């Protein structure tokens, strides 16, 4: 049985980790770490855990935690994990960090976009970007995984096959993304109050959102070159969910008969099937069916699809996921499963919730 500790167990992503790990056959939670609720009953913070979780919240001492568990999940704000991780910890346990501290390989880029000094840049090169569908083999041997976030996971997986196969001009890529309010975390913020969010939709972080360089870096690896793209997030009045709509110009393809032209539906679909046909958690929808957040809610699935706009020579790619599951905690569990040689889908094999 894998012993797990969670630092940040009382945030939304941490609470989702608790929910998922409680149903995991091969793992048990032995440390509910929380900076704000030390010595309080976890079930008093989240009443849905009444008579399910009897433990009290403990502190966030990673060094002490490393002596008691096999894996540490850090569901904490940016900068925190980097400030406390060390060689002694990594020599004892595996770490899955849900923040952005080790996602970006260029420390200068991280510090520019996040506005903080990186406290442990020596671990950046070692950290594996934990997008399982792309980096599965590297995750298996990792001791430190940088768990991707919700916007990035959805944005990358939606476009990845077409970037990798050169079917789109990646330099023309524009990503329009929308998120439920839980993506902003559990902290009290005026802009997230009910009256501010309800009956409203708004863009934020326009041309400056800090997930932009992460998406550029990962899709750049697929393209084999540096990319610059537009990413615009929006906040919508729902609890959970990410929906991305992405636009790019199609590249012409050369066919066996010597002719060239824009790729057909069948050629685009073949690219998606090449990368996702055997993936448990990426569902390529039937022709004409657009992804919707309600059909992935509460699950670790990502739904993707596309429409070719022959009139403009562009393609519209769409993706949807639950930001707290595949966009955070579910992906972290998926990474843990790979790191410990378990069935990748263990603890995650449940259907989306509806209604």
- For the beta sheet containing 302-309, the strands, ordered from the edge strand earlier in sequence to the opposite edge, are 202-203, 230-235, 168-179, 242-250, 314-321, 302-309, 282-284
Catalytic residues: 150
Kindly state which CATH superfamily the domain 151-322 is placed in: Dihydrodipicolinate Reductase; domain 2 (3.30.360.10)
**What is the per-residue pLDDT for 188?**
73
**What is the per-residue pLDDT for 218?**
98
Phi, psi of 332 (to 5 degrees): -65, -40
Of the chain, the percentage scoring pLDDT greater than 90 comes to 95
Rounded to an integer, what distance in angstroms lies between the CA atom of residue 307 and that of residue 270?
A: 14
Say if CB 188 and CB 244 are below 8 A apart.
no
Check whether 258 has a pLDDT greater than 90.
no
pLDDT tens column, 178-191:
999 998 888 778 88
**What is the per-residue pLDDT for 192?**
82
288: left (phi over 0), alpha (psi -120 to 50) or beta: left
Say if CB 335 and CB 96 are below 8 A apart.
yes
pLDDT tens column, 50-65:
999 999 999 999 999 9
For the question of whether the overall pTM of this predicted structure is more than 0.95, the answer is yes
Check whether 72 has a pLDDT greater than 90.
yes
**What is the per-residue pLDDT for 256?**
85
**What is the per-residue pLDDT for 69?**
98
pLDDT band, residue 21 (cuts 50/70/90) = very high
pLDDT tens column, 82-98:
999 999 999 999 999 99
CATH of domain 2-148+326-339: 3.40.50.720
Rounded to an integer, what distance in angstroms lies between the CA atom of residue 188 and that of residue 128?
A: 32
Q: How far is CA 206 from CA 195, 226, 286, 303, in A?
A: 22, 21, 32, 25
pLDDT tens column, 138-190:
999 999 999 999 999 999 999 999 999 999 999 999 999 999 999 888 877 88
Map out the domains of the chain as residue ranges: 2-148+326-339, 151-322
């Amino acid at each position: 049985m894998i012993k797990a500790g969670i630092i940040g167990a009382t945030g939304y992503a941490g609470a989702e980790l608790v929910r998922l790990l409680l149903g995991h056959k091969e793992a048990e939670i032995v440390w509910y770490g929380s900076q704000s609720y030390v010595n309080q009953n976890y079930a008093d913070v989240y009443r849905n855990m009444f008579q399910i979780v009897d433990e009290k919240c403990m502190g966030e001492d990673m060094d002490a935690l490393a002596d008691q568990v096999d894996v540490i999940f850090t569901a904490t704000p940016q900068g925190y994990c980097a400030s406390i991780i060390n060689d002694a910890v990594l020599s004892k346990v595996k770490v899955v960090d849900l923040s952005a501290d080790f996602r970006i390989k260029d420390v200068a880029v991280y510090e520019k976009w996040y506005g903080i000094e990186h406290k442990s840049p020596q671990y950046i090169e070692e950290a594996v970007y934990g997008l399982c569908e792309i980096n599965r083999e590297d995750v298996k041997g990792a001791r430190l995984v940088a768990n991707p976030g919700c916007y990035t996971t959805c944005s990358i997986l939606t476009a990845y096959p077409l970037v990798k196969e050169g079917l789109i001009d990646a330099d023309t890529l524009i990503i329009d993304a929308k998120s439920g309010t839980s993506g902003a975390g559990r902290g009290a913020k005026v802009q997230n109050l009910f009256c501010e969010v309800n009956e409203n939709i708004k863009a934020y972080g326009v041309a400056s959102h800090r997930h932009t360089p992460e998406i550029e870096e990962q899709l750049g690896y697929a393209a084999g070159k540096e990319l610059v793209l537009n990413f615009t997030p929006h906040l919508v009045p729902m609890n959970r969910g990410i929906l991305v709509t992405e636009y790019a110009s199609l590249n012409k393809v050369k066919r066996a008969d010597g002719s060239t032209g824009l790729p057909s539906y069948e050629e685009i679909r073949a690219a998606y099937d090449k990368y996702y046909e055997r993936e448990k958690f990426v569902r390529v929808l039937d022709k004409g069916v657009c992804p919707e957040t309600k059909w992935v809610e509460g699950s670790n699935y990502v739904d993707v699809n596309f429409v070719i706009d022959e009139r403009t020579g562009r393609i519209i790619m769409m993706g949807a996921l639950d930001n707290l599951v595949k966009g955070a905690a579910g992906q972290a569990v998926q990474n843990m499963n790979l790191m410990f040689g378990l069935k990748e889908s263990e603890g995650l094999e449940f259907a989306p919730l509806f209604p």
